[in-house]
Amino acid sequence: MNDLPKGQKGRLLPPPPPLPPPPQIVILPKSQSQPIQKIPKTGNAAKLSVKAKVKTQAKDKAARRYSPGDRALREIRLMQRTVRAAIPNAPFYRVVREVANEWMRMLGRGPDFRWQSTALQALKEATEAFLVHLLEDSNLCAIHSKRITIMVRDIQLARRIRGHWGGLG
């Protein structure tokens, strides 16, 4: 018992793992002058050699370089195909509640509003439709001025052309 380290009272350590067998040298015919070492693959050694091959193949293969704009165009096509919402629900609902409560405090009214989930969803759908339509119009304004980047002045022009209410039609 006195042979064990302080923290190892009465516990026996597991035996160390067995050592791999020594490499075997194979002598080849004279056409190949260099002898090749063969190591028998057992257990972990077989797995490690497969992993090593995969890693070296991955390093040898050059990283794919896309031309400028390819990735952006792919992302645009993906967003056009999907029907998921552009604005996440929870942050939008939080902002709506915060703005409504601020207005209620400014008007000197009573406690906070209570919102139906369908009302919040309808408000979110209308907001997304408005923003998408506004960005489409501002993109047309940018294209008209022979640019591909939307600027603040494009959004201002689109809102001015739309009129006071900024209809969706």
User: pLDDT tens for residues 19-66?
Assistant: 877 777 767 666 655 555 666 666 666 566 656 665 666 566 777 888
Task: Show the DSSP H helices in the chain as ranges.
Answer: 44-60, 70-81, 89-107, 117-144, 152-162
Taken in order of first residue, the domains within the chain and their CATH numbers are 86-162 (1.10.20.10)
User: pLDDT tens for residues 106-134?
Assistant: 888 877 788 999 999 999 999 999 998 99
Compute the Cα dihedral for 131, 134, 136, 139 and give only its sign.
negative
